[in-house]
Structure 1
Amino acid sequence: MSSTKSLAPVLALVGCTNSGKTTIARCLVDTIQKLGKSAAMIEQDDDYLLAHQVEKVPRKHNPDDFYYHYDQISALNVGGLEKRLLEARQKADFVIIEGNMIAEIKEIMQLVDKVIFFTIDQKTCRRRREQRTYDPPDVEGYFDQIVWPAYLEHVRNAMSQARLDDRFVFVDVSSENDKATEKEVFEVIEAISRDFIKITSQTLELDAAMKLLRLPNCGATSIFIGTTRDTFDGKEVLQLSYESYDEMAYPELRKLCSSVRATFPTVERLIVWHRVGEVPVTEASVIIAAASPHRKDAIQAVSMAIDELKARIPIWKKESYADGEHSWKENEEWKVGKPKETSSSQIATYTKPQGDAKFFWLHELIQQLERLRKD
């Protein structure tokens, strides 16, 4: 009897140039192999077309000269990239594909199980890029006219996709370091393995949240579900509508999770999900949840996360009433600043994973990918 090898799960690392995608991908591959698994790495950079095949864009300040526009899909051999990915899925246990435009290539995204999108600030990106050598080399003005505007377009497209696609995870990697360090790599892995963040236009599913919160070492799960109620100040409410400034909201949500963990270090899992767009009466607009060995930490962590969410995250709501009127509502917390931090007294001490922590969190990420493949 012959057995057919299942196709490997594919993790896509996407983001701006110099955000550390290649460094992180290589580190992940090396660590996966140390865990006894095989891993293949596919680099988008290997499939760029030759210079004469790439679009030339006139320079703003010197129209008689031009830039090669490498930051658009037309500069890639998409067929070659897809072929290499298909072959790698059949041979390896895991595949990591990295590149700044992966999330916008339909043929590739059909094969991807999870996307980690690295956001970065302009200062970090510019500093790192100036220290690298490119072929063809960067010339004056290329970063400002081509590289940075292309990144802004890519990140907006990705965040727009993420509102309908649960595969996306966003992590900000802005740093004073000239390149991603191993410590930063595994901080990223730990963050995405423990904290589940999303801004979505889809219905929030409690069952999906519960699957993420079930952990053998956690005896307490606390969940807050915020729903649309049908009245406000005597007026009949038909629905709420939420708007989010995603480019700022995602980094702030990561900081929120870090703040909660600093106060309640025993919390093993955090979920912060927010719905945007129209949310009818009785439907959930937000789910915040925590899993911990102890109930007090889980309950207080959720309470702190709710307060922090209202105080610091740029998400706004509009109430629509039965009389045809509507009103944009401002969180009271925005007026008075951040809420007071919950007291950390009498909080249980966090027990670190046994052995090498970086392997522990990578194993968590691998298990998530395997579950995605099974589902």
Structure 2
Amino acid sequence: MAQFNKDEWIVIGEFSSLYSYCFTDLYVTSLVADPQWFLGAVLCRGSHVVHSLPRLPVSVISGNMAQFNKDEWIVIGISGVTCGGKTTLANKLKESLVPVYVFHQDKYFYPDDSPNHIKCVGLEHNNYDILSALDMEKMMQDVLDTLNGKDKSHASNVVKSKGKKEIKGKKFLIVEGFTALNYKPILDICNLRYYFILEYAACASRRALRLYSPPDVAGYFDGCVWPAHLRYRAEIEKDRRVILLDGTRPDVFETVMNDVTALGAVSVE
């Protein structure tokens, strides 16, 4: 087992005790019956940034995510900064495309008392702005189930009506959430990928108007929300497949609809 080039590989043990890794090249194989243990190997091609993600199941990151008929679907991923306009865009697309199925990442937060949560440094408050705060395994499985004909979406629009856009022989699936595209299994199944950005002041002022449950505590935005966003945004900006959207612009919906039209969408007659 030890006869391999150790200069080319990083081997990781009990992944369930670590939270969140983002790798450029990840190869996974199960070593023992317990799926929380695996050999994760990264072919080193320069430095890799490592920080908060959730434990990924071997079954998902080793290829099950691709087991659906890609010829039948257009998958649109919408991610990015808090209060950037993700849900608004997803809802507009739901009313404009047909048939369409929508998933909201914030439906997958672990309960407040879950041991999966990590406390913010210096605050008696869970950090809800990192991937490990969400049950991404369940989200991915629900998405896959829907792509394979068992609808588990949070909203849908399957009634054709004049003015909506369709692509003959295809269905649309939209996944939206602040770190949805930082979860590689979701990122990789998307046909179109969008990431909202805002400057600090605009984001902070919008966030201050929102009421969360549990509510933000003093210092949470500056200590957790914004630093986490900057880390996740830095990851996204390395991927040229992702289009950045300015959350202050009024034409983001038109930008996305133009891309959908370029894929062959036409108006329902």
Which interval holds the TM-score relative to the shorter structure?
0.5 to 0.7
Structure with greater strand share of residues: 1
Letter of the 2:104 partner, please give it. Answer: E
Match of residue 138 from structure 1: 216
- State which of 121, 130, 143 in structure 2 corresponds to 1:58: 121
TM-score, length-scaled by structure 1: 0.44
The 8 Å contact of residues 56 and 66 in structure 1, kept in 2 or not, is answered as yes
1:45 positional shift: 0.2
Distance of 2:197 and 2:124 partners within structure 1? 28
After TM superposition, the structure 1 = structure 2 runs for residues 69-218 of structure 1, keeping only pairs within 5 Å, are 69-91=127-149, 93-162=171-240, 167-174=241-248, 184=250, 187-191=251-255
Distance of 1:38 and 1:44 partners within structure 2? 20
Which residues of structure 1 form unaligned runs of 5+?
60-64, 176-183, 193-361
SS in 2 for 1:190: helix
Which residues of structure 2 form unaligned runs of 5+?
1-68, 150-157, 159-170
Instruction: Please list the CA deviations of residues 255-296 of structure 1 after superposition, one character each: whole Å capped at 9, or x if unmatched.
Output: xxxxxxxxxxxxxxxxxxxxxxxxxxxxxxxxxxxxxxxxxx
Letter of the 2:99 partner, please give it. Answer: S
Distance of 2:145 and 2:228 partners within structure 1? 30
Match of residue 28 from structure 1: 93
1:110 positional shift: 2.4
Match of residue 229 from structure 1: none
The 8 Å contact of residues 89 and 253 in structure 2, kept in 1 or not, is answered as no
Could you list the runs of 4 or more consecutive aligned residues of structure 1 that deviate by over 4 angstroms after TM superposition? none
Instruction: Please list the CA deviations of residues 12-51 of structure 1 after superposition, one character each: whole Å capped at 9, or x if unmatched.
Output: 111111001001100111111xxxx211110000011111
The 8 Å contact of residues 196 and 247 in structure 2, kept in 1 or not, is answered as yes
1:100 positional shift: 1.1
Identity across aligned pairs (percent)?
A: 28
Alpha carbons of 1:76 and 1:83: their partners in 2 closer, same or farther (altered >3 Å)?
same
SS in 2 for 1:67: coil
Distance of 2:139 and 2:263 partners within structure 1? 21
Distance of 2:248 and 2:204 partners within structure 1? 11
Match of residue 260 from structure 2: 366
Q: Whose radius of gyration is greater, 1 or 2?
A: 1
Letter of the 1:139 partner, please give it. Answer: V
Distance of 1:31 and 1:56 partners within structure 2? 40
The 8 Å contact of residues 77 and 176 in structure 2, kept in 1 or not, is answered as yes
Structure with greater helix share of residues: 1
Letter of the 1:172 partner, please give it. Answer: D
Alpha carbons of 1:370 and 1:52: their partners in 2 closer, same or farther (altered >3 Å)?
farther
CA-atom RMSD in angstroms: 2.1
The number of residue pairs the alignment matches comes to 175
Instruction: Please list the CA deviations of residues 182-237 of structure 1 after superposition, one character each: whole Å capped at 9, or x if unmatched.
Output: xx2xx113345xxxxxxxxxxxxxxxxxxxxxxxxxxxxxxxxxxxxxxxxxxxxx
Distance of 2:102 and 2:85 partners within structure 1? 14
Distance of 1:86 and 1:160 partners within structure 2? 26
Match of residue 19 from structure 1: 84
TM-score, length-scaled by structure 2: 0.60
